[in-house]
Amino acid sequence: MDELLESQASAEIHRLLTEHQRYSLRLDELQNKPYLSSDEQLEEVRLKKLKLHAKDLIAAIEHHAAVVVSA
């Protein structure tokens, strides 16, 4: 059972890391533009929030996995 949970956690972390990287790449594209439209400015804010949320979820999963392993 522990192996199943570990596998699921690993898959979720991988998915979140992929999302985080995708958000970073798009943010880089936006930040390299000399001017952002209103829609692009909103997208930038949204991407920053999504990127932070993905990072927080990764940290929470890793923390939970560490607690389970040490228990």
pLDDT tens digit sequence for 16-38: 999 999 999 999 999 999 999 99
Q: Would you put residue 40 in left (φ > 0), alpha (ψ -120 to 50) or beta?
A: alpha
More confident residue, 26 or 4: 26
Specify the pTM.
Answer: 0.85
Instruction: Give the separation between CA 14 and CA 34, rounded to whole angstroms.
Output: 33
**Mean pLDDT throughout 29-58?**
97
Decide if pLDDT at 1 tops 50. no
Token reading at 49: 């929030």
Supply φ then ψ for residue 32, to 5 degrees.
-85, -5
> What pLDDT digit, counting tens, does each position of 57-69 carry?
999 999 988 877 7
